[in-house]
Chain A
Amino acid sequence: MTRPRVFIVDDHGLFRSGVRSELGDDVAVVGEADDVVPAIDRIAATLPDVVLLDVHLPGGGGQAVVTATKRSHPEVRFLALSASDAPEDVIAVIRAGARGYVTKTISGTELVDAVHRVAAGDAVFSPRLAGFVLDAFATEAPPGQQRPSLDPELDQLTMREREVLRLIARGYTYKEIARELFISIKTVETHVSSVLRKLQLSTRHQLARWATERRLA
């Protein structure tokens, strides 16, 4: 496996050095930034494979970095890191274009794993994000606020996607999910990527509301 080039954006210096040492030699850390504007500049300069992005930054949400970078360098991939459990934060960054979300309490090996996965173009869901997605796609909007579904395919999860998400929420790794459902790991990854796409593009009320609350319609 090639060493992915990683860029770390977080306003806490201590946290950045912590992540750096946890990532170890499996990845190459090519740069760091502590706020939105320097992050956008230096990411454009270094063009990393994966940006580890704190959701909360002093100069605005992490999604500002994603949006600005995606415009000029769509090949850069983002993995959101956050101490926050609030769905609107997570959903906002995902909808801006991040390929995944993990909480800051994640272990070093899992983080390395997630970075590799995102570098390979796959999606990474923490159990909590899987829970959010199941919630967002399960609950109906209150009557009166329901928008007509523009694209029913985007606004619903398939049974299989639901099963995969449920297992992620139960703490299963992709390998364990594959074994449990008698499918290949590649298929699991396909399902998760498909869910990510729906999460980014769906107009479902819940998602739209979370996104608008963070001014990201």
Chain B
Amino acid sequence: MPPGHPARTQDGRPWPGHRYFGRGPARWGRWHHGEPLRRAREDRLVGGVAAGLAARIGRDVTTVRIILVVAAVLSGGFVAAAYVVAWMLIPMEGAQGNIAGKAMTDRRGLALAAGYGSLLIIVRILISVLSIGWLSSFLWPIALVGAGLILIWRNADEDEQAMVQGLVRPFLGLTTRSRRAGLILRLTVAVILLAGGVAALQSAHENIALLQPLAGVALLISAIVVLLGPWWLRIARDLVVERQARVRAEERADIAARVHDSVLQTLALIQRRADQPQQVIALARAQERELRSWLFDGRPPGSIDGQAMTLAGGIRLIQQEVEAQHGVAVEAVTVGDCALDDDLAALLAAAREATVNAVKWSGATVVSLFAEVEPGEVSVFVRDRGKGFDPAAVPSDRKGLAESVRARMARRGGLASVRSAPGEGTEVSLTMPRAATTRSQA
């Protein structure tokens, strides 16, 4: 998942997490219906802890990363050590058990880690002899991080081992002959800069010049950049390339899914109904319209979901459904558009019923469906040139038009009228006043 996108669960729902964030530690255990915290497998820079945390609390992963790095610097490295511990303790997404569990049985690894730790203690003694006190405060975190990384390297999955290897890659460069010269040069420059920087910092309190510590810091930073810069650049480039590839793959999968849901399904239906030309035509028409609105208007097929639905979208949906189900062409025209509220949803339901009625009973091959959104009201007209009927002669027990259309409209303060005569076709007019809420979008 690229940074900047809201975190999502695996099935694509956005995490509701941020609502819980900040209500105190008592809530920690209850996040997201007890789903445990997991390290992210896909979107990770190091161990996937930040991405997992971000997904968990519903925050942007970049924000979490920046906070972690700042905290690591401000805490003198202890947050970095905590990160490594978390890396070992939190299982990866979809994995059974954590790294710490495996590390406990890895005797050689434990010995290595202990050896590394004791080496650092010697360094610490050396440092206190040289009285570079500020460095020793970083030592415990460095010891923890180092020992943790050793254990992780030895006990993680293969892909995680590759990740750790990537982290220490600049130092592994010494083992390949081709890179050695360049690396040694960079190392030399870095050491000189580093020494200069440390010396400048050391002599800072003896001089009055305020610029000197600044120069020292600048030298230190340039040492780091010289040593690690090329590697950072490569990592950044790799990340960008990888992200692009992932986006492309996602798009392809999305298109494949859409084509399957719509086009392939329709083709299958057409094969099965090859003996019913009317239905085949209707299916092809509906599919063509759907594909067109997806390709050219960017409207995903069949995805008129509650909140995004507008009146025009609803009319289009009625058209598609009726054409697909009844094999009669519906000529739909809309003028203007607005968001749906309950009143307008009722209007659409009545319009649908009237359209289905026309398709079923009129015998016409085309039904016209016209909707117009005006500032004060929305009107829908359903017209056919079919056989028509005498409205006065409809028996009172025939529910369709009376109940579904007229009563539905009346309940919401709308009007429905029917004009028909035998042989003249039928027109149903529906009018619904607009509530103040949808008027602002006219």
Contact = CB atoms under 8 A, between A and B. Distances in A.
Tell me if chain B binds chain A. Answer: yes
Interface of A: 85-86, 105, 107, 127-128, 130-131, 134-135, 138-139, 166, 169-172
A127 B296 contact: no
B370 interface: yes
Contacts of A170: 368, 370, 381, 383, 427
Interface string B342-381: 0000000000000000000000011010101000000001
Interface residues of B, number: 18
B292 A131 contact: no
A127 B336 contact: no
What's the dominant secondary structure at chain B's contact region?
Answer: strand
B98 interface: no
B336 A135 contact: yes
A105 B383 contact: no
A109 to B, nearest CB: 12
A131 B334 contact: yes
A127 B292 contact: no
Given A127-B368, A170-B368, 11 more contacts: A107-B365, A127-B333, A127-B370, A128-B333, A134-B372, A139-B336, A169-B370, A170-B370, A170-B427, A171-B370, A172-B383
Contacts, number: 42
B335 A138 contact: yes
A135 B389 CA distance: 33
A80 B267 CA distance: 30
Interface of B: 285, 292, 296, 329, 331, 333-336, 365-366, 368, 370, 372, 381, 383, 385, 427
A134 B329 CA distance: 23
A71 to B, nearest CB: 31
A171 B368 CA distance: 6
Nearest to B329: A105
A172 B329 CA distance: 16
A86 B296 contact: yes
Contacts of B329: 105
22 contacts: A105-B285, A107-B365, A127-B368, A127-B370, A128-B331, A128-B333, A130-B333, A131-B333, A131-B370, A134-B335, A135-B335, A135-B336, A138-B335, A138-B336, A139-B336, A166-B372, A169-B333, A169-B335, A169-B372, A170-B370, A171-B383, A172-B383
